[in-house]
Amino acid sequence: MLKPKQLREALSRSVPLLQRNPDSLNMFVDNGRIVSTLAASLSFEYQYQLNLVITDYGGDIDLVMVPVLAWLREHQPDIMATDEKRRTGFTFKADVLSDTLCDLSIDLQLTERVIVREESGALHVTHAGEPPLPENIPRPRQQFAGGELVSEWQP
């Protein structure tokens, strides 16, 4: 599975707390399953819930949600495509610890396609990417909150 690592890297680049304290981000894969058919190849799809937990978060919650949405748009765009997926694909809860701190938990329903092909008696495994975004959609590189620059990153 590639997406948990990709999302960790994206959040570490864009969320100020995680730039200072990367150990605040914990990730768990829950309810995972493999979807395969009796087709000629062994290709399959991972389907799982990725649970992100950011502990002792004291910043503006928007500074986490916006980078997650930007990442989803590129790496799991179908999560925004239907009413059902919008309702269940990206959920969150927060345990309020004090007036300034919370533990933030985010659940994402993710999939990853894996292509398995046989060639000369050997199996070759590759991960299929999501369809690319149209070229005219800019990829953000900065995040502002309250008119102030809070983080910058390279794509």
Beta bridge partners of 91: 107
Q: How far is CA 150 from CA 26, 51, 99, 128, 146, in A?
A: 22, 25, 21, 33, 9
Task: Decide if pLDDT at 5 tops 90.
Answer: yes
Percent of the chain with pLDDT over 70: 94
Cut 0.75: pTM above it:
yes
What confidence score (pLDDT) does residue 136 get?
Answer: 67
Angle between helix 3-14 and helix 62-75 axes, rounded to 10 deg: 140
What CATH class is the domain 3-131? Answer: alpha beta
Output 110 or 150, whichever has higher pLDDT.
110
- Per DSSP, the residues of 49-107 read EEEEEEEEE-S-THHHHHHHHHHHHHH-GGGGTSHHHHHHSEEEEEEE-SSS-EEEEEE
Q: How far is CA 32 from CA 7, 46, 73, in A?
A: 17, 7, 22
* Residue 129 to residue 131: CA distance in whole angstroms: 6
- Token pair for residue 58? 């004291």
Nearest to 61 by CA among 10, 103, 19, 7: 103
**Which residues contact residue 124 at a Cβ distance below 8 angstroms, ignoring those fewer than 6 apart?**
116, 117, 118
What confidence score (pLDDT) does residue 152 get?
Answer: 76
Give the mean model confidence (pLDDT) for residues 107-118: 96
pLDDT per residue as tens digits for the range 53-70: 999 998 889 999 999 999
Output 146 or 138, whichever has higher pLDDT.
146
